[in-house]
């Protein structure tokens, strides 16, 4: 016990002595936490619209006005001919083109079903395809309006209709920050927990001080605990600092219990530290450790459901996420923060975290050799 205490003191001294490391542990995550949610806004708005109006009729004008007033579109170009409009798309100045055909109004009134062409720039990911969908929805609306004007409908419409009334729970104003801040915090805690831990041990290997530790009577368990506990504490500190920062800068504070949040984080960090330990047992140099970390971080970040929902992945990729610890943590932290989920609701996530903690730490300890082969 006393040996462990001495080791812990040494580790903490080492961390707090090095201002560069401290800066990295606290300042960089903070900056990211403040900047990233500002950028991470999926909401599709300001879709640039180019209009080719070949009809110049009252209806055509009304349609254009309706599109502009919808809030999704920004009318940026009035092109005379379709090829001109295409050029604006090529130059990324417009995302969607609407072409109103010659005789649009006339054909509409004469029941000849005029054809409106929507062209969306689908190279632009979400924006183009959603823009096309929104434009189509607005046009259908417009169509309905015209229809109601032209046909004098009886009070009870002869056609059955099922209006859909959406209700949005937990985040009715679609505040994207409430969703992103917990997720980004989860990733930052993960990085601090695992990679600093891995690099710290590999550094001892590379510089050679690990040999010195190995010839001392320090046991395997004491050595590993001595490395894990400081980073466990640091990870929880980053978590706390990040939550306060989220509140100060974005007014985002968990709806659920803080106690549950920290319990989950503490459990999760155990598994993450295990990953760090595992990397360190396989890597001989920090360069190797960094390459492994890079690969793992990218999987963590891109397949953890932070940016693209796990449900959108093909089935095999969803199976991969079952083995991705941050996927559980991101889900859990969002559930607690947004919906106030309690321990009973989080049972699958908690079980997974306990499982990961045993799996990775057990594997790492099994693979850790005090004596070089």
Residues 154-173 interacting with another protein (rule: CB under 8 A): 156-172
In whole angstroms, what is the distance from residue 332 CA to residue 335 CA?
A: 5
- 77 conformational bin, left if phi > 0, alpha if psi -120 to 50, beta if neither: beta
- Other Cβ atoms less than 10 A from the Cβ of 144: the count is 10
294 binds another protein (CB under 8 A): yes
Site for another protein in 231-270 (CB under 8 A): none
Residue 358 tokens, joined: 């045993």
The whole-angstrom separation of Cα 231 and Cα 361 is: 14
Exactly one of 297, 343, 354, 359 binds another protein (CB under 8 A); that residue is: 297
Q: Which of 10, 298, 358, 367 binds another protein (CB under 8 A)?
A: 298
Indicate the SS3 state at residue 171.
Answer: coil
CB of 103 to another protein, least distance (A): 13
CB of residue 49 vs another protein: minimum separation in angstroms? Answer: 13
Binding-residue pattern over the window 94 to 113 for another protein, x denoting contact by CB under 8 A: --------------xx-x-x
Report how far Cα 36 is from the mean position of its chain's Cα atoms: 10
Place of tokens 């330990």: 277
Is 40 an interacting residue with respect to another protein (CB under 8 A)? yes
When binding is defined by CB under 8 A, the residue of 3, 4, 30, 36 that contacts another protein is 36
Integer Cα distance of 78 and 97 in angstroms:
10
Give the bridge partners for 74, in sequence order: 48
5, 78, 253, 307: residue in contact with another protein (rule CB under 8 A): 307
Closer residue to another protein, CB minimum distance, 91 or 259: 91
| Nearest distance from C-beta of residue 159 to another protein, angstroms | 5
Please state the closest distance from residue 358 (CB atom) to another protein, in A.
24
Q: How far is the CB of 216 from another protein (least distance, A)?
A: 23
- Given strand 96-100, what is the order of strands in its sheet? 73-79, 47-53, 96-100
Backbone angles phi, psi at 14, to 5 degrees: -60, -40
- What is the footprint of another protein within residues 164-223 (CB under 8 A)? 164-172, 174-176, 178-179, 188, 191, 195-196, 199-200, 203, 206-207
71 binds another protein (CB under 8 A): no
- Which residues from 336-355 bind another protein, rule CB under 8 A? 338-342, 345
- Measured from the CB atom, the residue of 287 and 367 that comes closer to another protein is 287
Residues 97, 160: Cα–Cα separation, whole Å: 33
In the three-class reduction of DSSP (H, G, I as helix; E, B as strand; rest coil), residue 10 is classed as helix
């Amino acid at each position: 016990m006393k040996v462990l205490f001495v080791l812990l003191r040494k580790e903490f001294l080492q961390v707090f002595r090095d201002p560069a490391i401290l800066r990295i542990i606290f300042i960089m995550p903070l900056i990211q936490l403040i900047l990233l949610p500002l950028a991470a806004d999926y909401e599709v708005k300001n879709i640039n619209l180019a209009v080719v109006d070949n009809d110049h009729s009252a209806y055509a004008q009304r349609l254009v006005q309706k599109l502009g007033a919808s809030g999704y579109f920004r009318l940026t170009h009035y092109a005379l001919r379709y090829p001109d409009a295409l050029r604006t798309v090529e130059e990324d100045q417009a995302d969607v083109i609407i072409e109103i055909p010659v005789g649009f109004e006339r054909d509409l009134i004469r029941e000849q079903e005029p054809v409106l062409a929507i062209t969306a720039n689908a190279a632009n990911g979400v924006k183009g395809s959603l823009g096309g969908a929104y434009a189509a929805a607005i046009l259908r609306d417009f169509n309905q309006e015209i229809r109601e004007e032209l046909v004098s409908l009886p009070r009870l419409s002869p056609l059955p209709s099922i209006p859909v009334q959406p209700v949005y729970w937990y985040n009715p104003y679609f505040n994207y920050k409430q969703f992103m801040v917990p997720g980004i915090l989860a990733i930052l805690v993960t990085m601090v927990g695992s990679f600093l831990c891995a690099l710290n041990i590999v550094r001892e290997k590379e510089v050679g001080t690990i040999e010195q530790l190995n010839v001392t009577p320090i046991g395997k368990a004491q050595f590993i605990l001595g490395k894990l506990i400081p980073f466990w504490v640091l990870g929880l500190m980053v978590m706390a600092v990040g939550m306060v920062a989220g509140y100060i800068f974005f007014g985002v504070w968990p709806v659920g219990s803080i106690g549950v949040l920290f319990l989950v984080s503490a459990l999760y960090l155990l598994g993450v530290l295990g990953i760090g330990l595992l990397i360190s047992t396989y890597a001989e140099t920090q360069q190797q450790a960094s390459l492994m970390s890079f690969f793992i971080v990218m999987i963590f970040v891109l397949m953890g459901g932070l940016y693209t929902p796990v449900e959108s992945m093909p089935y095999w990729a969803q199976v991969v996420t079952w083995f991705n610890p941050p996927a559980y943590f991101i889900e859990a932290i969002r559930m607690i923060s947004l919906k106030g989920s309690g321990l009973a609701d989080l049972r699958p996530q908690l079980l997974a975290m306990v499982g990961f903690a045993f799996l990775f730490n057990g594997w790492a300890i099994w693979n850790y050799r005090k004596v070089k082969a």
